[in-house]
């Protein structure tokens, strides 16, 4: 065994250790080497000057409260054993239990899950639901698994993270490549381990298992709600507006449908399989039916196929990135023709691209408010599960719109007041709320 370095040795003897620079972040949390987490840290730094006396607590936001890495071994159908890496990160629980989705994707990393969990803290505080932020994921391409393998992987993962989740501790929900069925398996696994049915442990469940009406459409509906409000501020009519959407799943598909229903022209749609374009507007219901059958937009006869890269040049008024993070970058931000970008996805715009869009006077509705509709209705679902009393869809949609509009109005006013972007304004409101509760609670012990 090699000799400990001076720093390690000093740390090992406790009181004799030289003081670390105050607030030094552990290396795995530092900004420069950590894609999405680094981006999040830069966003926190940007907002710190606006936090007044609460800035003394800001370091709380720069560290996840708890991060769990789990091995997920399963039997594949051919009898062999495969191991997957899973994560659950609880970023902050000052305002309530952790809350955030679970993602199954081959590119999932700890840095990504940490950033997504932190953005959940911000988002939940921005719409003022009583939750902290959390997120989970498994590094896997679920399309390579059979249904049986997917179920076994989901159940084993749920069992492994079962020590930190629970209806009052941390409540997962769907995200990329996870859906109502995955939530049903998660709920069942957790309930089996607990010995009683615990519907409140996840949201985004099937309605017959304590899910909420309106949950599936909630994120897209929220995107549409804040998009409409912002368009009003810009003096832009939705009727006839040209919309380009990247990602045509739960968020992008629903947002496209609602914009089309309101009279907008959805001119371009891109997903993992390809890109389709039609100047007069794509037939969105027909495209949704095509995707349901063929698992992607490629091959849709009602539009022209476009190259993946040409999507960013689409002549449009509104662009909705609703796929993955890191899509709008230094390379393509200068080419976007929209007047407004609505971030349906989490983290789709890099900070450099954000600056370019702002210089070009393109309004960005940031993820931390634009896609908060999902977690808002997740909150309604959790409340309904606890009271075992379920609301009708009309009531849910009306409450969702009210929450989103109230939050967006406050963000718009804060942005005007401080002359900052909507992203910074959302962070100002959210960080203030989180750190205020931190201060009220004080530090244990
Ligand atoms: P989904 O799995 O339903 O859909 C994802 C879509 O993105 C699919 O159409 C897929 O084909 C497309 N896609 C994947 N890789 C792509 C690529 N390289 N290029 C273009 N398109 C690609 O997922 P979702 O639930 O709609 O989530 C989309 C985004 O919205 C994610 O960033 C997620 O974190 C965020 N989000 C989702 C919710 C929710 O309630 N589902 C809530 C808030 C935020």
Pocket flag, ligand 1, residue 321 (CB < 6 Å): no
> Which residue owns the Cα nearest ligand 1 atom 28?
323
The predicted model gives 173-177 an average pLDDT of 94
Confidence (pLDDT) at 33: 54
Band (pLDDT 50/70/90 cuts) for residue 377 is very high
Domain contains 181: yes
Ligand 1 atom having least distance to the Cα of 325: 32
Domain contains 380: no
Task: For residue 317, give every residue at least 6 positions away whose Cβ sits within 8 Å of its Cβ, in sequence order, or none.
Answer: 236, 241, 242, 243, 338, 339, 340
Domain contains 445: no
Q: Are 7 and 27 in contact (CB under 8 A)?
A: no
**Is residue 21's pLDDT more than 80?**
no
Confidence (pLDDT) at 35: 80
Q: CATH no. for residue 254?
A: 3.40.50.720
Domain boundary among 16, 42, 59: 59
The predicted model gives 239-244 an average pLDDT of 98
Ligand 1 atom having least distance to the Cα of 177: 2
Q: From the candidates 99, 123, 135, 205, give the one annotated as an active-site residue.
A: 135
Look up residue 83 and give its two tokens. Answer: 């191991």
18 lies in the same domain as 107: no
72 lies in the same domain as 192: yes
Domain boundary among 354, 370, 386: 370
52 lies in the same domain as 78: no
Domain contains 378: no
Of 280, 229, 223, the residue nearest 249 (C-alpha): 223
137 lies in the same domain as 11: no
| β 340-342/318-321 pair status | parallel
Domain contains 387: no
The predicted model gives 88-108 an average pLDDT of 97
The predicted model gives 4-25 an average pLDDT of 42
Domain contains 152: yes
Look up residue 373 and give its two tokens. Answer: 């509709």
Domain boundary among 324, 352, 370: 370
240 lies in the same domain as 278: yes
Share above pLDDT 70 across residues of the chain, in percent, rounded to a whole number: 92
Domain contains 212: no
355 lies in the same domain as 233: yes
Helix (H) or strand (E) holding 432: helix 422-441
Pocket flag, ligand 1, residue 177 (CB < 6 Å): yes
Pocket flag, ligand 1, residue 51 (CB < 6 Å): no
252 lies in the same domain as 359: yes
Domain contains 209: no
Question: Helices 110-126 & 422-441, crossing angle to 10 degrees?
Answer: 90
Pocket flag, ligand 1, residue 345 (CB < 6 Å): yes
100 lies in the same domain as 187: yes
Number of H helices and E strands in the chain, helices first, is 13, 12
144 lies in the same domain as 280: no
138 lies in the same domain as 225: no
Has 62 been annotated as catalytic? no
Q: Are 407 and 128 in contact (CB under 8 A)?
A: yes
193 lies in the same domain as 225: no
Structural domains in the chain (count):
3
Give the residue numbers spanning the domain of 49. 6-59
250 lies in the same domain as 343: yes
Cis amide bond preceding 445, omega within 30: yes
Of 241, 254, 258, 252, the residue nearest 275 (C-alpha): 252
pLDDT digits (tens, 9 = 90+) for 278-296: 999 999 999 999 999 999 9
The predicted model gives 26-38 an average pLDDT of 67
Confidence (pLDDT) at 10: 32
Q: Are 111 and 325 in contact (CB under 8 A)?
A: no
Ranking 34-43, 53-62, 309-318 by mean pLDDT, the lowest is 34-43
Ligand 1 atom having least distance to the Cα of 252: 26
Q: Are 167 and 381 in contact (CB under 8 A)?
A: no
Q: CATH no. for residue 79?
A: 3.40.50.10860
78 vs 68: CA distance, rounded Å:
30
- For ligand 1, the distance from its centroid to the CA atom of residue 27, given in whole angstroms, is 30
In this structure, the number of other CB atoms found within 10 A of the CB of residue 180 comes to 17
pTM of the model: 0.91
């Amino acid at each position: 065994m090699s000799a400990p370095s001076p720093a390690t040795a000093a740390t090992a003897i406790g009181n004799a250790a030289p003081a670390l620079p105050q607030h030094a972040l552990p290396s795995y949390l530092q900004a420069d080497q950590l894609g999405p987490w680094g981006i999040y840290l830069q966003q926190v730094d940007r907002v710190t000057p606006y936090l007044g006396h609460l800035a003394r607590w800001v370091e709380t936001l720069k560290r996840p409260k708890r991060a769990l890495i789990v091995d997920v071994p399963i039997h594949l159908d051919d009898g062999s054993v495969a191991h997957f890496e899973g994560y659950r990160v609880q970023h902050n629980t000052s305002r309530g239990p952790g809350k955030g989705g679970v993602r199954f994707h081959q590119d999932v990393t700890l840095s990504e899950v940490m950033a997504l969990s932190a953005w959940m803290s911000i988002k939940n505080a921005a719409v003022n639901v009583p939750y902290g932020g959390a997120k989970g994921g498994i590094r896997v391409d679920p399309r390579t698994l059979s249904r049986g393998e997917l179920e076994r992987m989901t159940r084993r993962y749920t069992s492994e993270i079962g020590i930190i989740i629970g209806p009052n501790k941390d409540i997962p929900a769907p995200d990329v490549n996870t859906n109502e069925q995955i939530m049903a398996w998660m709920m069942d696994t957790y309930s089996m381990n607990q010995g009683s049915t615990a519907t409140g442990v996840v949201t985004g469940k099937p309605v017959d298992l304590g899910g909420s009406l309106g949950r599936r459409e909630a994120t897209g509906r929220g995107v549409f709600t804040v998009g409409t409000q912002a368009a009003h501020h810009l003096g832009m009519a939705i009727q006839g507006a040209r919309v380009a959407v990247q990602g045509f799943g739960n968020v992008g598909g629903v947002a496209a449908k609602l914009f089309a229903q309101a009279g907008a022209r959805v001119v371009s749609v891109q997903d993992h399989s390809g890109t389709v374009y039609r100047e007069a507007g794509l037939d969105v219901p027909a495209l949704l039916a095509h995707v349901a059958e063929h698992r992607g937009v490629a091959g849709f006869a009602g539009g022209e196929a476009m190259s993946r890269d040409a999507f960013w040049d689409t002549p449009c008024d509104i662009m909705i990135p609703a796929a993955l993070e890191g899509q709008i970058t230094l390379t393509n931000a200068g080419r976007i023709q929209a007047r407004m970008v609505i971030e349906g996805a989490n983290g789709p715009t890099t900070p450099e691209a954000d600056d370019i869009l702002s210089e070009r006077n393109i309004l960005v509705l940031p993820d931390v408010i634009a896609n908060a509709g999902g977690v808002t209705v997740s909150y309604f679902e959790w409340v309904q599960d606890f009271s075992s009393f379920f609301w009708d869809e009309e009531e849910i949609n009306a409450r969702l719109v009210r929450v989103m509009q109230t939050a967006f109005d406050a963000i718009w006013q804060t942005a005007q007041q401080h002359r900052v972007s909507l992203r910074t304004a959302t962070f100002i409101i959210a960080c203030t709320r989180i750190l205020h509760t931190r201060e009220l609670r004080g530090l244990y012990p």
